Structure 1
């Protein structure tokens, strides 16, 4: 039950939001995306650097699956309610941050590279209560960490997956309990207000996220168009 009005309601109706939470369907069309040529040009080179890494082929389907299953109306909410950053300058010892997906005032998904082993790792922030109610059991390749950011409140945990190039992150995104917790958390963050990281959005990375898996980018180029629905 959603109480009160939110900016999100003008983009995705409350009925659509409620139906999306209940549904297990994946988004398959992305025809109402915004665009900002100046912003696009600012981060295109960073995406080209990311796409040139050998890990990109493992990373891309995970990003596509997350966008299709864990973000409400991802084309309509892009930029205004969520954004992705690419190759952030800040890095940890031996770790390279490849991308982050932000909603409202916090990250909800981060992907990094262990520069020593060459393996990818993923972190997700999800709704803790939903995760427990749905009976989530952490697989051997994942662990649940008691970590939260203030914007999302206390009812959140961080799920960490170390990818061994065998699709661990995709298996996590196929878990109904995990997806339910991610959807609930993301939707509630969006209802709190618009995305505050839009100025760092990498459209080129989003181009590859917002298209059906296994479809060449050129085949869906025409789907990007129109102005942002705010």
Structure 2
């Protein structure tokens, strides 16, 4: 983006800058010329009053169109010659009077003179003239006055020092078009949003997709996409372009479509920055303050070994919370299979929860006899999801264990499932969470007595560990008030024996 000083007003009272004699760039993306289109030789703009000081931004594409007009469409009736300072036209052909003030070129660092330099000496092909942006700083030109124009270096040949222009990834574009998004990506700039509003003056309700510098994407919904998009800049300052998919239905329908698109994008191999519906979490995490990223990587390689070496003390909890769950824990202690139940939670914590002593009560919680389901004995939660629970059967004395894992790490194919079935594992492909991500898989273990055998499978442990770490990196547990410290401490003690 380049910031230019407004010199004129269009007949619609929009700001314009005469970037080259008779060629104007207009706030919002347009380019006008006295010698093109309906202007038919008449100036399409009026000079600004001398007491008005205004600036606006133009982008690379708008500047290139202005250069193209200056080098091909514009045909000056009298040849001008720029002085060595690039500021004062001389000779008999110089304009006089009111036109002299309007047509006078600006300083050499102004985009207007850059375009003039290209028109005078560079080939018409914009690729042959290269413009490099430098740090913006105030510039006092001979005629511009104090302004914040972006200084540019104009050369006649390619330079290795110039950074290549960013462009969107072909796979992102292919996926977006295949899922109904508009075929035109808008630049994530003020001009891009202005153009989007002009293209969609009404009906901006729907889904959007934006692409970042490293080609990560984010998919969202909004009643007015133009109003919603700027709020993403604080968390995603590297966003470059966005696309729009109209969807006038109610919010529940849009949320369902959003969830499906996020998961489809991940399955297609795209990197998705969404938290709610995506698997995994890109970027910094609050977990990093408790467990460094190096520790997380080491843990994922060897969960059992790393957990065995962690002897962190459990965090202190409010006495009121301890008292609130004491009755449920006393009830559990009276269960005939109490030892087996506590052992099951201890085995799961030791093999599948990152640093269970350090993260207990913050990034993972366990509820004892949760009131939301009368059949459940306990339920482990991370972020906003349940990851492991056990429940009694209404028809037998078995206690079923249910785990949610990342299917990408499970054995593949029919034989892989058959081997897990021999350990007492069933795959439930229908039981998933709305926020579980694209790769969530539900595993049902016929009885908790088989859980230790199931978790001897390296692939199952890896699938559960990866799923849990991804959730912890998203946020802390949403169920802290339901956490039963007594049950967690008993399970961790059993795992350490």
TM-score range, shorter chain: 0.7 to 0.9
Aligned partners of 1:159 and 1:177: how far apart in 2? 13
Q: Distance in 2 between matches of 1:115 and 1:47?
A: 22
Rounded to whole Å, the distance in 2 between the matches of 1:90 and 1:5 is 33
Q: How many residue pairs align between the two structures?
A: 210
Give the greater-gyration-radius structure (CA).
2
Greater share of residues in helix: 1
Q: 1:120 aligns with which of 391, 399, 402?
A: 399
Structure 1 segments, 4+ long, off by >3 Å, are: 132-137, 212-215
Aligned position for 2:315: 34
Relative contact order (C-alpha < 8 Å, sep 6+): which is higher?
Answer: 1
- Judged with a 3 Å threshold, the aligned counterparts in structure 2 of structure 1 residues 214 and 128 are, in CA distance, closer, same or farther, namely closer
- How far did residue 61 of structure 1 move? 1.3
Structure 1 unaligned blocks of 5 or more: 216-230
For residue 180 of structure 1, the aligned residue among 457, 462, 478 is 462
Inter-partner Cα distance in structure 2 for 1:214 and 1:2: 30
Write out aligned runs for 1:16-55 (5 A): 16-26=295-305, 27-28=307-308, 29-36=310-317, 37-55=319-337
Over the aligned positions, Cα root-mean-square deviation in angstroms equals 2.1
- 1:48-127 to 2 correspondences below 5 Å: 48-91=330-373, 96-127=375-406
Structure 2 residue 427 is matched with structure 1 residue 144: yes
Partner of 1:219: none
Q: 1:179 to 1:86 in 2, by over 3 A?
A: same
Q: 1:63 to 1:183 in 2, by over 3 A?
A: same
Helix, strand or coil: the match of 1:149? coil
Per the normalisation by structure 2, the TM-score is 0.40
1: CA distance, partners of 2:469 / 2:341: 24
Q: Which stretch of structure 1 is more off in the superposition, 113-122 or 21-30?
A: 21-30
| Shift in CA distance, 199/125, structure 1 to aligned 2, threshold 3 Å | same
SS at match of 2:304: coil
Which whole-Å deviations, capped at 9, do the CAs of 1:89-133 have from their partners, x for residues lacking one? Answer: 2336xxx21000000000000101124311110000000111146
**Alpha-carbon deviation of 1:12?**
0.4
The alpha carbon displacement at 1:214 in A equals 7.3
Aligned to 1:223: none
1: CA distance between counterparts of 2:325 and 2:468?
A: 24
> SS of the residue aligned with 2:403?
strand
C-alpha distance in structure 1 between counterparts of 2:411 and 2:495, whole Å: 30
Following TM superposition, by how much is the alpha carbon of 1:139 offset from its aligned partner in structure 2, in angstroms? Answer: 2.7
Deviations 1:60-115 (A, max 9, x none): 211111111111111111111110000012336xxx21000000000000101124
Q: Using the alignment, how far apart are the partners of 2:433 and 2:409 within structure 1?
A: 17
SS of residue paired to 1:59: helix
8 Å contact from structure 1 (residues 55, 120) kept in 2: no
Aligned with 2:443 (options 133, 136, 159): 159
User: What is the TM-score of this pair, normalised by structure 1?
Assistant: 0.84
